[in-house]
């Protein structure tokens, strides 16, 4: 049975709650395209590490099965810009080049049904192949794919397949292929591109890499601090996926906890929970969140639980969240209190407070 998703136009609920400290109003500003480096990164494929590509010709074969009229996306131009950021210059077909890159993609719109039976093309997928040809070497072929899942909430309802969010899907497919050739550096470069869809796709691919994306943590910190909301959210998910190795992101995550956006604050708390910093400043920032709002404190409670005994100062605030008619919240709070203290006083707030005072 197809799920029905509520439909919202232009309405965004991300700033309905108080921030954890003083409200901070972010001003998004696209990061300039990185200048080409004088020494391009060598190919990161076993047995080919000594090869450095300085110039490359790019060709693209793109198809859209659902669209009858002529329709194309700027895949070749985007590819050249991403590689240019790594110091790899594009050259015209037929001209002497260090290598050639052929991209074949079939790109489809994904239709989702929302409340009231409204069907909208709010997702997309791209599948195909990248072929890298270097003189004197056998051509290398990589299967690639990317996907933009339909969102739960929408700001508009595309009725025509040509209006689907194709770019995120095919950019993600490209980046997955380029990662196979040039490793994580290409994703770090893409995360600084001026196009938000490229930054979004780069963060999404880094999220899939999990702990293997640790080298990109500084670039992800920059994204969560300065970027627009969708990209910030993906970058926060990527930091969460990296886990404890992303410990250097803790100070930036504290600042993000001050966001006006509920979604951003929740994802920052999730990332802190995954990183598990044993830092008093982080604990205090989480406590401030619990003290300033209680409409949805569960991600913050989970973060304190994961930090464990180092979050001892959170005990009185957590204990005061216990209420008889809040079964789900009580369960979360008790899990956190037990992880922090090793004690089990149930819903008795007074016992928790007495125990905490004794520890002082």
Among 25-39, 252-266, 268-282, 298-312, which stretch is predicted with the lowest mean pLDDT? 25-39
State how far the Cα of 352 lies from the Cα of 7, in Å rounded to an integer. Answer: 44
Using one digit for the tens of pLDDT, what is the confidence trace for 196-249?
999 999 999 999 999 999 999 999 999 998 879 999 999 999 999 999 999 999
Among 53-57, 84-88, 244-248, which stretch is predicted with the lowest mean pLDDT? 84-88
Residue 124 lies in a domain: yes
Instruction: Name the band, by pLDDT with cuts 50, 70 and 90, for residue 294.
Output: low
Q: What is the pLDDT of residue 15?
A: 38
Q: What range defines the domain where residue 86 resides? A: 38-183
With 50 as the cut, is the pLDDT of residue 6 above it? no
Residue 357 lies in a domain: no
Residue 47 burial by Cβ neighbours in a 10 Å radius (0-12, 13-18, 19+): exposed
Residue 53 lies in a domain: yes
Q: What are phi and psi of 26, to 5 degrees?
A: -80, 140
Residue 82 lies in a domain: yes
Residue 56 lies in a domain: yes
State how far the Cα of 60 lies from the Cα of 24, in Å rounded to an integer. Answer: 44
Split into its structural domains, the chain has a count of 1
Instruction: Name the band, by pLDDT with cuts 50, 70 and 90, for residue 171.
Output: very high
Task: Assign residue 69 a region (left: φ > 0; alpha: ψ between -120 and 50; beta: otherwise).
Answer: beta
Residue 336 lies in a domain: no
Nearest Cα neighbor of 272 from 314, 321, 305, 227 is: 305
Using one digit for the tens of pLDDT, what is the confidence trace for 88-123?
999 877 788 999 999 999 999 999 999 888 999 999
Angle between helices 280-292 and 262-275 (to 10 degrees): 150
Instruction: Name the band, by pLDDT with cuts 50, 70 and 90, for residue 295.
Output: low
Residue 49 lies in a domain: yes
Q: What is the CATH number of the domain that holds 124?
A: 3.30.160
With 70 as the cut, is the pLDDT of residue 13 above it? no
Q: What is the pLDDT of residue 289?
A: 85
Of all residues in the chain, what percent carry a pLDDT higher than 70?
88
Q: What is the pLDDT of residue 20?
A: 64
With 80 as the cut, is the pLDDT of residue 16 above it? no
Question: 340 with 356: CB under 8 angstroms?
Answer: no
When pLDDT is averaged across residues 331-353 and rounded to a whole number, the result is 95
Within the chain, where are the H helices? 75-84, 166-182, 185-190, 196-209, 217-226, 229-242, 250-256, 262-275, 280-292, 298-307, 315-319, 327-341, 349-359
User: How much is the CA Rg of the chain, to the nearest whole Å?
Assistant: 24
Residue 325 lies in a domain: no
Q: What is the pLDDT of residue 9?
A: 35
Mean pLDDT, the chain, as a whole number?
A: 87
Q: What is the pLDDT of residue 8?
A: 39
When pLDDT is averaged across residues 67-72 and rounded to a whole number, the result is 94
A 10 A CB-CB count for 339 gives 16
């Amino acid at each position: 049975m197809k799920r029905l998703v509520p439909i919202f136009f232009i309405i965004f609920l991300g700033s309905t709650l108080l921030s954890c400290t003083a409200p901070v109003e972010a001003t998004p500003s696209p990061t300039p395209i990185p200048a080409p480096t004088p020494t391009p990164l060598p190919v990161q494929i076993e047995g080919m590490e000594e090869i450095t590509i300085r110039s490359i010709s790019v060709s693209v074969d793109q198809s859209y099965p659902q669209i009858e009229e002529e329709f194309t996306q700027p895949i070749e131009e985007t590819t050249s810009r991403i590689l240019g950021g790594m110091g790899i210059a594009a050259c015209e077909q037929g001209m002497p080049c260090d290598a050639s890159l052929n991209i074949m993609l079939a790109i489809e719109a994904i239709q989702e049904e929302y409340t009231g039976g409204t069907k909208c093309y709010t997702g997309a997928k791209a599948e195909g192949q990248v072929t890298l040809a270097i003189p004197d070497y056998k051509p290398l072929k990589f299967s690639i794919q990317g996907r933009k899942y339909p969102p739960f909430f929408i700001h508009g309802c595309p009725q025509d397949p040509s209006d689907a969010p194709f770019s995120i899907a095919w950019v993600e497919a490209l980046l997955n292929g380029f990662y196979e050739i040039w490793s994580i550096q290409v994703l770090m470069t893409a995360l600084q591109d001026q196009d938000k869809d490229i930054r979004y796709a780069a963060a999404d691919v880094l999220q899939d890499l999990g702990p293997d994306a640790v080298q990109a943590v500084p670039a992800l910190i920059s994204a969560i601090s300065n970027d627009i909301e969708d990209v910030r959210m993906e970058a926060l998910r990527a930091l969460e996926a990296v886990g404890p190795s992303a410990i250097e992101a803790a100070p930036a995550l504290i600042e993000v906890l001050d966001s006006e956006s509920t979604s951003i604050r929740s994802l920052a708390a999730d990332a802190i929970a995954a990183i598990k910093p044993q830092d008093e400043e982080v604990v205090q920032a989480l406590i401030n969140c619990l003290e300033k709002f209680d409409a949805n404190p569960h991600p913050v409670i989970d973060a304190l639980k994961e930090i464990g005994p180092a979050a001892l100062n959170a005990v009185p605030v957590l204990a005061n969240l216990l209420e008889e008619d809040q079964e789900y919240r009580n369960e979360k709070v008790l899990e956190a209190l037990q992880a922090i203290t090793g004690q089990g006083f149930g819903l008795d707030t007074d016992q928790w407070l007495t125990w905490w005072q004794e520890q002082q």
